[in-house]
Amino acid sequence: VAPSIRLSPAARSLFDEPLAIAVRGLGPRQQVTLRTSLRDETGELFQASARYQAGDDGELDLARCPALPGGSFSGLEPMGLLWALQPKKPFWYMMKQDVQSPFLLQLEVLEGHGEPPGRLLAQAQHERAFLRDGVRRIPVRDGRIRATLFLPPGEGTFPGIIDIHGLGGGLFEHRASLLANHGFATLALAYYQYEDLPQKLTEFHLEYFEEAVNYMLQHPQVKGPGVGLLGYSKGGELSLAMAAFMKNIAAVASINGPVAVTLFPVCYKGKTIPTLTLYEQRAKVIDSNIFDYSDILIDPFQAPGNRSLIPIEKAEAQFLFIVGQDDHIVKSKYYATEVCKLLQAQGKENFQILSYPGTGHCIDPPFFPFCPIGSHPFFHKRAILGGELRAYSKAQVHAWPQIQDFFKKYLNDK
């Protein structure tokens, strides 16, 4: 029998779903290398490989068989060939611009454990999709807001979430599309460098984000009376500010977001929250073109009478802080811990923290490749984001269902 790859689901799965991988028809205890490859939309190649030995029956099931040392990972890691994908081009971040088309994953079984491995024994292709059948993708041009709404299948009403990304400009749909597969009406919201939105930022006006909240609450398929906010980095900061000043925000999940206003002032109804003082000269040079920006902001909890802290004690929302303990962009673990102490001191219990060791600034949905170094959107230089591969990948897999459970709990209870 010629070796063959068995996948479950066979031809197509959602990007955030596990994929079962097995190989049949090998020789007893035969040594092989398994390799996965995926090209992103720009054509950049991501690859991972692992060394295995088949059982006495010539079968190799990644759910039961540990990878041997020498590949991208070792040990019992059924999804290792997906979470360990790494770009051939240094510092490249995997983006998904068109969520309507899947990524194509290539799997190969190669003979032996050599470098490079031996001849090709079997191969398979598999689609990793972002939209489940029946999920609707609706471009939104309503008043000033520029966004994409994803609606789950069916005619019912769904808990509504606004997904706000970090500083970087444009419109990111990968997270919102995946959330819609899990039963949420999700609005991926752009706020600059997209279509006719401002090209440059000087300050944030929360009225723009309030339009998005009102759009969701007026939508016939969004369950009220409140919406959820999912914010990453600057998006987390903006989500906390929205909850502090606006009604109808029931739940906020902030992924490595500041708890004080940073880089650009935030304005709402004639009030302005100034930015934390920043000392760029405190950036550490790691090598000729990589910087560590973790110490450039003053501590908002140590500056007496600090006007930059977001007054989240005024919010009626529930808060979930998701933090990477090795975040080198935002002191997110410290910020979340201190702000929750302030809430507790006021008798509030509307918060929880998920804290992940070995995890840096970037926490994506499951199986997005590890990104330890990125481009800083404000300084336009390469910046350390932090984290290490295995811990980061486990954090993404753990945090994703926690985020969904949090929103299900606080957006469905009403």
Asked whether the beta carbons of 97 and 137 are under 8 A apart, the reply is no
Distance CA 250, CA 261 (A): 21
The catalytic position among 254, 327, 332, 364 is 327
As given in the structure block, the two tokens for residue 110 are 């190669």
Distance CA 280, CA 293 (A): 8
Nearest of 80, 94, 93, 11 to residue 48 by alpha carbon: 80
The catalytic position among 16, 328, 361, 393 is 361
CA distances from 47 to 44, 90, 107, 306 (A): 10, 13, 10, 47
As given in the structure block, the two tokens for residue 74 are 């070792």
Distance CA 25, CA 117 (A): 19
The catalytic position among 13, 72, 177, 233 is 233
Three-state DSSP at 400 gives helix
Specify whether 233 is catalytic: yes
Asked whether the beta carbons of 36 and 50 are under 8 A apart, the reply is no
Specify whether 254 is catalytic: no
CA distances from 264 to 170, 201, 275, 278, 385 (A): 18, 7, 6, 11, 21
Partners of 14 in the β-ladder: 129
Distance CA 66, CA 404 (A): 30
String of DSSP letters for 211-271: HHHHHHHHSTTEEEEEEEEEEETHHHHHHHHHHHH-SSEEEEEEES--SB--SS-EEETTE
Distance CA 66, CA 153 (A): 39
Nearest-5° Cα angle at 412, 406 to 414: 125
Q: Which residues are catalytic?
A: 233, 327, 361
